[in-house]
Amino acid sequence: MSGNAAAGAAVKADAYGLGAARVVPVLVAAGCKDFFVAHWSEVPPLLPHVSAEHIAVLHGPVNRAEADFARSTGVRPVLNSLPQVQRWLAAGGGPCHVMIDTGMSRLGIESAQLSDPALFALDIDICLSHLASADEDTAQNAQQLARFEDIRRRIAARRYSLANSAGIALGTAFHADLTRPGIALYGGVVRPEFAGKIQPVAQPQAMVVQVRNLEPGDKVGYNALFSASKHIRAGILSIGYADGYLRCWTGKGNFLWQGRQVPVLGRVSMDLTIVDLTDLPDCDEGDWLSADYDLPAASAQSGLSQYELLTLMGQRYSRQTGS
């Protein structure tokens, strides 16, 4: 969908919660060459798999130590402000990336600052900006594209990059030289154009650690939000809001076992979630259930964004490849 542009990969936040050390080699094998993280602390897990010059740190060098780290490793800083530009040049400079703000008012050099002489002293590999509302059909997309085209005429760089996942679906005018998909790599469907083309890649699973029988009138979980009206065979799962399975799933979440839905009973707690196993007599302690986690559907049901559904998953999961 990126057409003639290369597709990089946003692997910040531990590859959106899936584990960068596991995800990055898969992307490298698929032909990806450019990787983007947010923090300098996210660099070391990538270095065994990716040459340093292909790693970009989006937050840039906010102090001399970070600039020195970039120069000593070859990791490319994304310069977001004139102070960062000056800091990079004072450290000795070298190849870098530059973020220009085209209307998101987040990170990025302001348009009014584009004539500053320091910018013309940089060795810029990628000049990039970021779309604020690409997941919507809004006039802001065209406005940002027009500003980005003006930047391309004013700032010399080897490559230019604007489109995130949703921006890729806006068409070739937004692709420039390099796209930067994030959520779409991990199963997120952020525009209708992705429907049927993007498939789930992550499935949180939890073990049944206890099975118990509930009688009519038995209350379930914190604050007794659920009371049994009949005999229920209940399963206690080793998953809770500390694992990113938040309280918003209370009374509405579902798990899957051998393709059959298993509803959540009562309030989700920190480490445990209670489910109804009444119709699954063969499901017992030690069995694994999968959270019903198709990202677009789960987002609509929970009120969480597709990004939150992934990045909230805690460190207690063992991240494994395979079914």
Average pLDDT over residues 171-190: 97
Catalytic pick among 33, 160, 186, 222: 222
Q: Which residues contact 174 (CB under 8 A, 6 or more apart)?
A: 131, 134, 141, 145, 162, 163, 167, 168
pLDDT at 269: 98
pLDDT digits (tens, 9 = 90+) for 103-146: 999 999 999 999 999 999 999 999 999 999 999 999 999 999 99
**What CA–CA distance (Å, rounded) separates 263 from 233?**
12
Q: Is 12 a catalytic residue?
A: yes
pLDDT at 194: 95
The model carries a pTM of 0.94
Average pLDDT over residues 274-294: 96
pLDDT digits (tens, 9 = 90+) for 197-254: 999 999 999 999 999 999 999 999 999 999 999 999 999 999 999 999 999 999 999 9
The mean predicted confidence, pLDDT, of the chain is 96
Checking if the pLDDT of 297 tops 80, the result is yes
Q: How confident is the model at residue 320 (pLDDT cuts 50, 70, 90)?
A: confident
pLDDT at 198: 94
Catalytic pick among 12, 160, 186, 241: 12
Q: How confident is the model at residue 321 (pLDDT cuts 50, 70, 90)?
A: confident
Q: What would the two tokens of residue 87 be?
A: 């800091």
The fold of the 6-194 domain, in CATH, is TIM Barrel (3.20.20)
Phi, psi of 225 (to 5 degrees): -70, -20
Q: Which of 79-83, 278-282, 319-323 has the lowest mean pLDDT?
A: 319-323
pLDDT at 139: 98
Q: Do domains 6-194 and 205-292 have the same CATH topology?
A: no
Checking if the pLDDT of 166 tops 70, the result is yes
pLDDT at 59: 98
pLDDT digits (tens, 9 = 90+) for 67-111: 999 999 999 999 999 999 999 999 999 999 999 999 999 999 999
Q: Where are the chain's structural domains?
A: 6-194, 205-292
CATH for the 205-292 domain, from 2.40.37.10, 3.40.50.450, 2.40.160.50, 2.60.120.260: 2.40.37.10
